[in-house]
Amino acid sequence: MQLLAIIVVLCTFVFDTMAAETRPNILFCISDDQSYAHTGANGDPLIKTPAFDRIAREGLLFTHAYCDAPTCGPSRSAILTGQHIWRLEEAGNIHSTLPAKFATYTELLAQVGYSVAYTGKGWSPGRLEPGGRKSNPAGQRFNRRKLKPPFTSISGTDYAGNFEEFLEKVPKGKPFCFWLGTSEPHRGFQKGAGKLTGKDPSKVIVPPTFPDNDIVRNDILDYLVEVEYFDTMVARAIAAIEARGETENTIVVITSDHGMPFPRAKASLYDAGSRVPLAIRWPKTIRKASRVKSFVNLSDLAPTFLEAAGLRPPPEMTGRSLLDTFRKPRTIQRDAAFIAMERHDGCRKGGKGYPCRAIRAKDYLYIYNFEPTRWPSGSPNASDCARSIPFGEIDSSPTKKFMMEHGDQNESAQLAELAFGKRPAEEIYDLKNDPHQMDNIAGSIGIKATQAMLRKKLFDYLKKTRDPRVVGGPVNWDYYPYYGKITTKGWSVDAKPR
């Protein structure tokens, strides 16, 4: 932790001119597995997300926000550190650790007087001790309160109540940084919850990457209800801030760690897995509500929070502060986002991952797969998978089960191949004509120049940011970092470092 202390001194000595009472509060609300499309503000006609829609209406709605990695632990590591996952060693893998040498915005804010805490899912899943951390970098844990039945979520956690308890302990005038991280809409769902709320399965928008039937429609309905549970918690948290009289100088961020837990979504670099909802309100600085078309990564949030607090972000942060976008949302433009994947779960022999990188631009998605001979969604052989689940990179679900059981039948065959099959080294998708990225046109005559341009732009960026897959050096990803029992809740307590 000595390195962190040095970083804090440098940050505060060089840049800190802001009095504690003028620093903004930060309420960071993050759902677990929610795709961009599934909010009212982003156009879904069935879902009800009044809290997200309100923040989007009163602040900034980002239409091109992308996670750094479409898997929980790595995405959260990137958010906390402001760095791409290929710079974070073991933290590039889920069920791993986040080495203490990587400074996080939460720790830096705590060093300058912020009250820092979290509820629900902070940095997770994994074990922090092997990386030298004694506690979750999201802050002090507030997780005591539960709701009384009935409720539509599996967890029943009163995340907003835990935030209210935290606020009661924050001295008036002291800035706070709170991470409200729900487990929703992570699987499992209460089966049939969507119908019980009165939602009509016939009105579900079924992406063309899934079969369109009652099984899939009801699976999506149950997922939407879990998203709504998250939104109700956010609404109550916002109300708590208003009751405290601190709306004007509180940054409220609502987003998700990555996309929905369905095939060809979570744990993939396609939009359904990597494009996330993002709305930000800060009345003191964001004076005019706008839709922001500029491309951002969630790792941009860490330097944003630090600069908002009057601190200079550490130079190792690859994320770029959004403060300029806050002030001039219609004029500041960023033309691409960068996304990465290593291993989501232990679903190949030897615990190998599926390393790939992508550049997402306005009209094209370009993906480079470093190991195209491996199964991207995990091995079809259950014995190769940590949970003995075929294609285990994709969460078990009614939709996945149907696609596996009907993968050799008519129109389902192509969808199953897209979800579970192997992929070539290069993929490129024309987003104007193929918004769901189903037709890989890499190598086509008319796309070769664009493909070469995007490949160069991606690899130039990977070289600049020192991706060991490109520049050489230790690749600390292609293994399972712990042994021991793995369960649906993560590593068991007897799991130990190799």
DSSP 131: G
Domain boundary among 310, 337, 364: 337
Q: How many CA atoms lie within 13 A of 258 on its CB side?
A: 27
What pLDDT does residue 489 have? 36
Letter for the amino acid at 21? E
pLDDT of 384-438, one tens digit each? 887 788 999 999 999 999 999 998 887 789 999 999 999 999 999 999 999 999 9
Does a structural domain hold residue 497? no
Which pLDDT band holds residue 346 (cuts at 50, 70, 90)? confident
Instruction: Please say which residue of 313, 337, 361 terminates a domain.
Output: 337
Say yes or no: 19 and 105 in one domain: yes
In this structure, is residue 235 part of a structural domain? Answer: yes
What number is the average pLDDT over the span 466-491? Answer: 64
pLDDT mean across residues, the chain: 91
Do 330 and 416 belong to one domain? no
Determine, yes or no, domain membership for 364.
Answer: yes
pLDDT at 19: 63
- Specify whether 115 is located in the same domain as 66: yes
Distances (CA, A) of 49 to 33, 37, 41: 15, 12, 8
Residues 230, 345 share a domain: no
Do both 380 and 251 map to the same domain? no
Give residue 480's pLDDT. Answer: 52
219 and 399 Cβ atoms separated by less than 8 Å: yes
Last residue of a domain, one of 337, 358, 388: 337
Lowest model confidence (mean pLDDT) among 152-156, 258-262, 293-297, 424-428: 152-156
Flag whether the pTM goes above 0.75. Answer: yes
Crossing angle of helices 301-308/72-81, nearest 10°? Answer: 30
Per the structure block, which two tokens stand in for 13? Answer: 């000595």
User: Do both 274 and 351 map to the same domain?
Assistant: no
Least confident window among 58-72, 184-198, 303-317, 426-440:
184-198
Residues 298, 363 share a domain: no
d(CA 241, CA 258): 26
Per-residue pLDDT averaged across 337-360, rounded?
92
Neighbours of 53 (CB within 10 A): 19
Q: Is the pLDDT of residue 468 over 70?
A: yes
In a domain, 493, yes or no: no
Residue 287 maps to a domain: yes
Residues 309 and 396 in one domain: no
| Residue 467 in domain | yes
State whether 349 and 277 are in the same domain. no
Residue 497, pLDDT above cutoff 50: no
CATH of the domain at 427: 3.30.1120.10
361 and 285 within one domain = no
Query: Are 380 and 403 members of one domain?
Result: yes
Integer Cα distance of 462 and 460 in angstroms: 5
Q: Which value, in Å, is the radius of gyration of the alpha carbons in the chain? A: 21
Q: What proportion of the chain, given as a percentage, has pLDDT over 70? A: 91
382 CB burial (10 A radius; 0-12, 13-18, 19+) = middle
Q: Which range of residues forms the domain containing residue 285?
A: 2-337
pLDDT at 302: 98
Q: Tell me the per-residue pLDDT of 130-145, one tens digit each, with 9 for 90 and over.
A: 999 999 999 999 998 8
446 and 312 inside one domain: no
Number of domains in the chain: 2
Q: What is the CATH number of the domain that holds 237?
A: 3.40.720.10
Give, for 490, the enclosing helix (H) or strand (E): strand 490-491
Within 13 Å and on the Cβ side, how many CA atoms surround 398? 17
Which range, of 81-90, 187-196, 257-266, averages the lowest pLDDT?
187-196
Q: Is 164 inside any structural domain?
A: yes
Residue 358 DSSP SS3: strand
- Structural domain contains residue 149: yes
pLDDT value of residue 3: 52
